Structure 1
Amino acid sequence: MSYAYYCLHQFNWTPSFLDSLSKREKALIFAFIDIRVEAEEKEHKEMERKSRGRRRR
């Protein structure tokens, strides 16, 4: 995953703004993005599991 791409499309941040952040700020933002993406993937898998269960009935 490209963090710059995610920041641009989710937060509407320009690449120059992202570049202007300190290393600590970038690390924090990147960690938050990782957590959010993991949660979205988990939710997606749960929805798929539930939809497969409904088709069998």
Structure 2
Amino acid sequence: MAHFALQKLHILPSVLVEMDDKEKAFIYASIQLRVEEEKKASNKISKGGR
């Protein structure tokens, strides 16, 4: 998740480490939702848009 935060969200590891647990939980939950949505979109495309 830290890799995604850095690569896609441009959150530096030093910034991520300094976040409190609630902030990290929010970031990680947001990443999980985004990944799930991207998987759904990818599956939809590979199934011909149905």
1:11 & 1:39 partners in 2: Cα distance? 16
1:32 & 1:7 partners in 2: Cα distance? 10
Identity among equivalent positions (%) equals 32
Question: Runs in 1 of length 4+ with deviation above 6 angstroms?
Answer: none
Q: CA deviation at 1:45?
A: 0.3
Structure 2 unpaired stretches of 5+: none
Query: Which structure carries more relative contact order (alpha carbon 8 Å, separation 6+)?
Result: 2
Which has more helix, going by share of residues?
Answer: 1
Q: CA deviation at 1:34?
A: 0.3
Higher-Rg member (1/2): 1
Report the TM-score, using the length of structure 1 for normalisation.
0.81
Aligned-pair Cα RMSD in Å: 1.5
Report the TM-score, using the length of structure 2 for normalisation.
0.91
Aligned length: 50
Q: CA deviation at 1:7?
A: 0.7
